[in-house]
Amino acid sequence: MRARTEAGAGRAPAAPWLRPRGSAARSPRVPRRLVPLLFAVPFLVIIVAWVLAKSVFGVSDAALPSVGDVIRASGQLINWGILPYDVSASLYRIALGTALAIVIGVPLGLLLGTSRYSVIMFGPFLRFFRAVSGIAILPLLIVWFGFTETTIQVAILYTALIPIIFNTMTGVRMIPRGYADAIETMGGGRARLMRDVYLPGALASIVVGIRLGVGYGWRALIAAEMLVGVGGLGSMIFGALQFRALGQIVAGMILIGLLYLIVDRLILAPVEDATVRRWGVQRG
């Protein structure tokens, strides 16, 4: 649009098939203060649809609780001390599971990524296990570890581990070979390559892996808590089903999504800002 007015006001474009000056094709930057507003739009739409479903189309309380029901249920859960207990149980589990997955997965991924052979060898293997989700292995875990905390922890660890290993490995493979050459010609050995090239070079990809790992792990956690039933948000919403407490169920669902967003924004995004964004090497 701007380009057209420019061309109209000034001289004609050199040739009609040339991209107009001022590059109308490139979308302008989104103003910063607009960003949180844009984030909120789809959420507002779904809330409006929800309210309309209740008020205009008269969906029954047995199928869908009203907004008021959910707020009331949340209040009750907080007052009874159930919500703080379940939230902290779930958060503790995801934190522990992810921390373990990072401690095990990143070094393993770095090791695998440095060899061309191991990438070929483990690529399909990791993809296979990525498809067999944490939920799919739960029955087997219950046989092994019973209805215990261990079952939940192993399910999270397994689920979060795979994308972390995979992304670390592929991250290392994408580092230009020249960096390693430079270190070697300065007399650096394998330890130096790991610390100075592979780890920072793969970090953008590692953060993506951790994001996926936390996301998948969070889902596996909710499912595992439903089945194992030793507290936590999954346990809570599954328990509420017995009393048909739909308000509690929806409150739990909202909280599950909200907590993930908070973890992602408050923990992972700042890590990216401090590293890969500063170095100008972030992907995507």
Partner 1 sequence: MTATSKRVPPTRQGGRIVCAGLAHDFVNARTGESVPALGTVDLVIESGEFVTVCGPSGCGKTTLLRAIAGLITPTQGQVSCDGTVVRGPGKDRGVVFQELAILPWRTVRRNIAHGLEIQRVPRQEREKRVAYFVGLMGLSGFEDKYPHELSGGMKQRVAVARTWATNPSVILMDEPFAAVDAQTRLTLQEELLRISLLSSNSIMFITHNVDEAVFLGDRVVVMTKRPGRIKTVVPVPVPRPERTVEAMADAQFVSLTDQVLHLVREEVQ
Residues in the site for partner 1, rule: CB under 8 A? 176, 178-179, 181-188, 192, 196-197, 200-201, 203, 275, 278-281
Angle at 270 between CA 27 and CA 264, to 5 degrees: 85
Please state, in angstroms and rounded to a whole number, the distance separating the CA atoms of residues 168 and 105: 8
Neighbours of 72 (CB within 10 A): 15
| Closest CB to partner 1 among residues 51, 281 | 281
Minimum CB distance to partner 1, residue 79 (Å): 49
Tell me how far apart the terminal alpha carbons of the chain are, to the nearest angstrom. Answer: 28
Please state, in angstroms and rounded to a whole number, the distance separating the CA atoms of residues 228 and 145: 11
Q: Which residues contact 179 (CB under 8 A, 6 or more apart)?
A: 197, 201
Residue 50: closest CA among 38, 59, 62? 59
Minimum CB distance to partner 1, residue 182 (Å): 5
| Closest CB to partner 1 among residues 144, 279 | 279
| Closest CB to partner 1 among residues 196, 264 | 196
Minimum CB distance to partner 1, residue 275 (Å): 7
| Closest CB to partner 1 among residues 65, 113 | 113
Minimum CB distance to partner 1, residue 186 (Å): 4
| Closest CB to partner 1 among residues 165, 197 | 197
Please state, in angstroms and rounded to a whole number, the distance separating the CA atoms of residues 161 and 103: 9
Residue 218: closest CA among 234, 202, 229, 242? 234
Minimum CB distance to partner 1, residue 169 (Å): 19
